[in-house]
Amino acid sequence: MTFVWLCLGLLGSARAGDDPEDDLRENTVTGGTAAPTEAPLDLPPPIVEAAGNLAWTAQTTALAEVLRIDVAFADRCRRAVEFIYARKYKEAKRELEALTVEFPTTGIGPAGMAVIYQALMFENFDFRYEREYKAAHAAALAQISAGLLSPGNEAIEYFLQAGMAGIEGIHSMRRGQFLAAIGNGYDCISSLAEAKRAAPAFIDPLMGDGMYMYWRTVVARKTALIPDGTDEREAGKELIRKVEKDGLLMGPAATLALTYSYIEDNDLRNALGRVMYGRLKYPDNVINNLTAGRVLTTLGRYDDAVKMYGEVLRAAPDNERAHYHLGVVHSRTRAFAEAEASFKRYVGFPAVQPEYRGQAWYRLGLLYARESRVEDARAAYTEAVRVSQNEAAKKALAALP
């Protein structure tokens, strides 16, 4: 259930629109009710660039050794992963297509494509590439299953199998298919265990253990359905930090996982430190930059948040979600005309999911109410209820004169 716990953290039990003032914590399990954390500054590991005159980087040779795969194959895998983190999706697709031709039974090609399609959908909180994702996901599982019938490459095949189960768990959670997500979570744990057995020195699977330990504790303390048990949040984060420092494929993903943990902890200083650390090497990563913008907004650094969303739109001019978050910033600074324009632009995009469309209409209603535009507020709240049954809009509508 490793990735399912992360998904619970990302989606949260507080639904969109419940909190009119703080959209960063709408997606936490605690709904932003955790006491502010005064934790020591958690400094991330330094970024060390490999020497340019080496045939293979130290990370590539280490990956080949621990997974017992060809070093050239390891190098190609790392290159494709780097392209994805850097949001160079066209380059990543070319590399993955070549890997599919050259190594047709490992699953690395379609698995990477499935990750790209999920990233594109997560950048906008939508499902516009679901068909392409499903096709890539199915192809990856078929290739991995075929590969596991023959000896060799078991560690990377099981690791990819775990990744496909985890990413499908997140997809199922976003679709509200909770039982399916739990099943995907168990499949993920099973495959990770096999990957560890095949490659005991492979650090990256520890990220799954760390995420499970952290998010299980968070969720257990939110619901009576799961026994509280031991508080393993700090131990879980320590494992994620180890992957951030020493992981051969998942280091940047661990940085983002730590960011969401710190947001859940209401430790915004360390959350900001991690997203800014992520920007050092991957300044165009849209998911990281959107998160950075939200943290900056919650900290009241509005000018910096606007600049961050500008960075998102520079790297991805067709990104839609940035306009919603710009609307939030402009609302905070009482730049109501700019906020109205941002929210209206967002609700005009056809692929916006009903929940988030309703959330934006609710925010528009708040703007109009603050400007004493009662009938405009009424219309906006009514639209929020119509498209998504937004509960906050229902209450606001009932309170209008």
Q: Does any domain span residue 164?
A: yes
Give the per-residue pLDDT at 160.
95
| Burial degree of 382 (CB within 10 A; 0-12, 13-18, 19+) | middle
Q: Identify whether 314 is part of a domain.
A: no
Residue 305, number of CB atoms within 10 A of its CB: 24
Residue 72 has a CB neighbour count (10 Å cut-off) of 13
Predicted local distance difference test score (pLDDT) of residue 27? 64
CATH code assigned at 156: 1.25.40
Indicate if 337 and 279 belong to the same structural domain: no
Is the domain of 146 the same as that of 76? Answer: yes
Which pLDDT does position 37 carry in this prediction? 66
Asked if residue 295 and residue 150 are part of one domain, the reply reads yes
Residue 313: its H or E element: helix 302-315
Residue 35: CB partners within 8 Å, gap ≥ 6? Answer: 266
State which of 286, 307, 328 marks the end of a domain: 307
Q: What is the pLDDT of residue 279?
A: 95
- State whether the Cα torsion 237-240-246-251 is positive or negative: negative
- Pair of tokens at residue 127: 């499902």
Q: Which residues of the chain have a pLDDT value below 50?
A: 1-19, 51, 53
Containing 41, the helix (H) or strand (E) segment is none
Q: Are residues 291 and 390 in the same domain?
A: no
In a domain, 44, yes or no: no
- Specify the pLDDT at position 104: 83
CATH of the domain at 347: 1.25.40.10
User: Based on the domain organization, do 17 and 108 belong to the same domain?
Assistant: yes
| pLDDT at residue 1, rounded to an integer | 38
Residue 21 burial (CB count, 10 A): 11
Do the beta carbons of residue 209 and residue 254 sit within 8 Å?
no
Q: Are residues 113 and 237 in the same domain?
A: yes
Alpha-carbon gap, residue 34 to 323, rounded angstroms: 28
Whether residue 315 is contained in a domain is answered as no
DSSP 243-307: HHHH-SS-HHHHHHHHHHHHHHTT-HHHHHHHHHHHHHH-TT-HHHHHHHHHHHHHTT-HHHHHH
State how far the Cα of 207 lies from the Cα of 169, in Å rounded to an integer: 16
What single-letter amino acid sits at 321?
R
- Predicted TM-score (pTM) of the model is 0.88
Residue 79 lies in a domain: yes
Q: Which residue range is the domain that position 383 belongs to?
A: 320-401
Q: Say if residues 272 and 282 touch (Cβ distance below 8 Å).
A: no
By C-alpha distance, which of 28, 22, 24 is closest to 214? 28
Residue 256 covered by a domain = yes
User: Where does a domain end: 253, 284, 307?
Assistant: 307
User: 63 CB contacts (<8 Å, ≥6 apart)?
Assistant: 69, 74, 77, 78, 248, 249
For residues 185 and 329, membership in a common domain is answered with: no
Q: Are residues 15 and 138 in the same domain?
A: yes
Domain ends where: 307, 328, 356?
307
Please tell me whether residues 241 and 134 are part of one structural domain: yes
Structural domains counted in the chain: 2
Same domain assignment for residues 339 and 219: no
CB atoms within 10 A of CB 331: 24
Q: How far is residue 23's CA from residue 265's CA, in Å, rounded to a whole number?
A: 16
- Tell whether 68 and 213 lie within a shared domain: yes
| 25-44: b (≥16 Cβ within 10 Å) or e | bbbbbbbbebeeeeeeeeeb
Establish if 41 belongs to a structural domain.
Answer: no
Looking at the domain assignment, is residue 42 inside a domain?
A: no
Please choose, from the candidates 118, 46, 59, the residue with its C-alpha nearest in 3D space to the C-alpha of residue 89: 118
Same domain assignment for residues 354 and 219: no
